[in-house]
């Protein structure tokens, strides 16, 4: 694999530091990576004063996490200006939304006697993290060795903090269209993440018409047939092609079998060629 353009660090819901991700790339013979934390560029800012491994090229990135009709609608942004004040304000706003959604679902679970745990403890054990999601709840409970009666922590996460569940409470007002707009405003390239998860080609078409510039063709949840479908769609609509493992370290799902399991296999993709002009 030449490039893995979908990685998460401790600055969102991954377990590796940004520098550890760079070293993983080096050890895996990956040449180009993008750290695309959910609604955060803190990991990339943390690397500014670090000595990166030789031969690793880092594309500035982010994954903006929105919802639509109880489905995840995530937009990747590449070649963004991580210091743009407009991005800072956008991240602040979406982090407040996500944290409030998490709090409401947490309190709903407590009210239904799913677990007996304190929201304040979640905040305490995620100090410095402006965006509190379901994985933040899992992290706090893991630290305290807390057990949810009758289920594992990740089962609890998917049942009570996953947008696709009917009882999930969402405070989301920021949309995927807003994500495309902010990425464009700060000079980036917007790419629809794991389009299979949207499960609606009409929505994909609408996002593209709105201004999305690429598709994440290669992703662990995509079968070979899915990849062929989205590759054809990207080629037909003259979109950038992206790919990545959606790596979360110890928080990986079963589909993330190893680092750089998915990505771009050579340097001739147009998205990678932009490195020469940015």
Domains of the chain, residue spans: 3-84+174-277, 92-160
Domain 3-84+174-277 - what CATH class?
alpha beta
pLDDT at residue 101 in the model: 96
| Nearest Cα to Cα of residue 121 among 136, 95, 140, 99 | 140
Q: Lay out the sheet containing 32-35: strands in order across.
A: 3-7, 32-35, 57-58
Per-residue pLDDT tens over the stretch 72-123: 899 999 999 999 999 999 999 999 999 999 999 999 999 999 999 999 999 9
Residue 161 confidence (pLDDT) above 90: yes
Q: Which two tokens stand for residue 93?
A: 């706003």
Mean pLDDT over the full length of the chain:
95
pLDDT at residue 215 in the model: 98
Please state, in angstroms and rounded to a whole number, the distance separating the CA atoms of residues 126 and 117: 15
Residue 154 confidence (pLDDT) above 90: yes
Give a three-class secondary structure readout of the chain.
CCEEEEECCCCCCCCCCHHHHHHHHHHCCCCEEEECCECCCHHHHHCCCCCCCCCCEECCEEEEEEEECCEEEEEEEECCCCCCHHHHHHHHHHHHHHHHHHHHHHHHHHHCCCCCCCHHHHHHHCCCCCCCCHHHHHHHHHHCCCCCCCCCHHHHHHHHCCCCCCCCCCCCCCCHHHHHHHHHHCCCEEEECCHHHCCCHHHHHHHHHHCCCEEEEECCCCCHHHHHHHHHHHHHCCCEEEECCCECHHHCCCCCCCCCCCCECCCCCHHHHHHHHC
Q: Which two tokens stand for residue 275?
A: 């490195």
Q: Which two tokens stand for residue 244?
A: 């990545």
Q: Lay out the sheet containing 61-68: strands in order across.
A: 61-68, 71-78, 189-192, 214-218, 240-243
Q: Which two tokens stand for residue 43?
A: 């990991």
**Residue 128: which pLDDT band, with cuts at 50, 70 and 90?**
confident
Please state, in angstroms and rounded to a whole number, the distance separating the CA atoms of residues 140 and 113: 18
Residue 254 confidence (pLDDT) above 80: no
Strand partners, 270: none
Helix 85-111 and helix 134-143: axis angle, to 10°? 60
């Amino acid at each position: 694999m030449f490039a893995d353009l979908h990685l998460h660090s401790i600055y969102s819901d991954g377990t590796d530091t940004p520098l550890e991700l760079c070293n993983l790339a080096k050890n895996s013979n990956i040449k180009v990576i993008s750290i695309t934390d959910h609604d955060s560029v803190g990991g990339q800012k943390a690397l500014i004063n670090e000595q990166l491994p030789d031969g690793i090229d880092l594309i500035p990135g982010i994954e903006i996490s929105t919802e639509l009709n109880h489905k995840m609608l995530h937009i990747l942004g590449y070649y963004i200006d991580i210091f743009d004040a407009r991005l800072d304000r956008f991240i602040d706003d979406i982090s407040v939304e996500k944290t409030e959604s998490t709090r409401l679902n947490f309190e709903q679970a407590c009210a239904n006697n799913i677990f007996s745990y304190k929201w304040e403890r979640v905040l305490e054990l995620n100090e410095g993290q402006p965006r509190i999601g379901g994985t933040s709840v899992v992290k706090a409970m893991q630290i305290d060795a807390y057990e949810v009666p009758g289920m594992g922590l990740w089962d609890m996460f998917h049942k009570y903090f996953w947008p696709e569940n009917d009882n999930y409470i969402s405070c989301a007002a920021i949309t995927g269209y807003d994500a495309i707009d902010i990425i464009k405003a700060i000079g980036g390239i917007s790419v629809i993440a794991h389009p299979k998860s949207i499960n609606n080609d009409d929505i994909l078409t609408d996002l593209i018409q709105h201004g999305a510039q690429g598709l994440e063709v290669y992703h662990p949840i995509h079968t070979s047939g899915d990849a062929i479908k989205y590759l054809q769609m990207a080629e037909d609509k003259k979109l950038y092609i992206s790919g990545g493992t959606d790596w979360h370290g110890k928080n990986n799902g079963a589909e993330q079998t190893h680092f750089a399991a998915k990505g771009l296999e050579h340097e001739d993709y147009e998205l990678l060629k932009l490195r020469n002009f940015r």
